[in-house]
Amino acid sequence: MVCLSSFLGSFSRVAFCGSRLSVSSASASCRAFLPLVSGVSVPVGVGCASGVDSVVRSAFPSASVFRVSSFLVGGRVSRASFALRSSALVSWCASASGLLVAFPLGACPVGVAVSASFRGCGSGSWGSVALALGLGCSVLVVSPVGVGSAWFGALGSCFRCVGSAPCGGLLWCSAPFPAPPVGGQLSLF
């Protein structure tokens, strides 16, 4: 058995991303997940949005917050500003061999693929996951119960299910993960 806090603590920093909806299964999953990692003493990074970002900021008041207002395009906030903010968060995480923890609300859109530049095809969460993988950053995705690798679209081959999440969902990891004991089952709990 591998302890989730030990796994998260093995990274030099942890960044979070997910749905911007405050009332969503992704935000609820994040709320259930965070108490188990609150004792991890590594730098935390997160965006400035509502939903998952807000839940993480509440749990980690000293987190590095990446604000979309810092990435104005043409002197104003635009769709590109959100992509630039997400890219900065992921780059911050990847620059120190960190872990990106993602709480996407739905399946990965067609067109999202591992890349060294941001392309979310309408999903900032999946765009961040694809960019993290492209930059060599480890990723942990918290999904609803019952999803399979098809939920990950073109990113499916990058992940394997490593156990159940405290929120009742599943944990999918791209990072090298400790092998289970002989005859044991791989699990974070």
Q: Which segments of 37-118 does DSSP mark as H helices, in order? A: 52-59, 79-94
pTM above 0.85, yes or no: yes
Contacts of 114 (CB under 8 A, 6+ apart): 130, 133, 134, 154, 155, 158
CATH value of 4-173 in 3.40.50, 3.30.470, 3.30.2000, 3.30.1360 = 3.40.50
pLDDT tens string for the chain (189 positions)? 457 778 888 899 999 999 998 888 899 999 999 987 777 788 999 999 999 999 999 999 999 999 999 999 999 999 999 999 999 999 999 999 999 999 999 999 999 999 999 999 989 999 999 999 999 999 999 998 888 889 999 999 999 998 888 778 899 999 665 544 333 334 444
Could you write out the DSSP letters of every residue in 20-31? S-SSSHHHHHHH
Domain ranges of the chain: 4-173
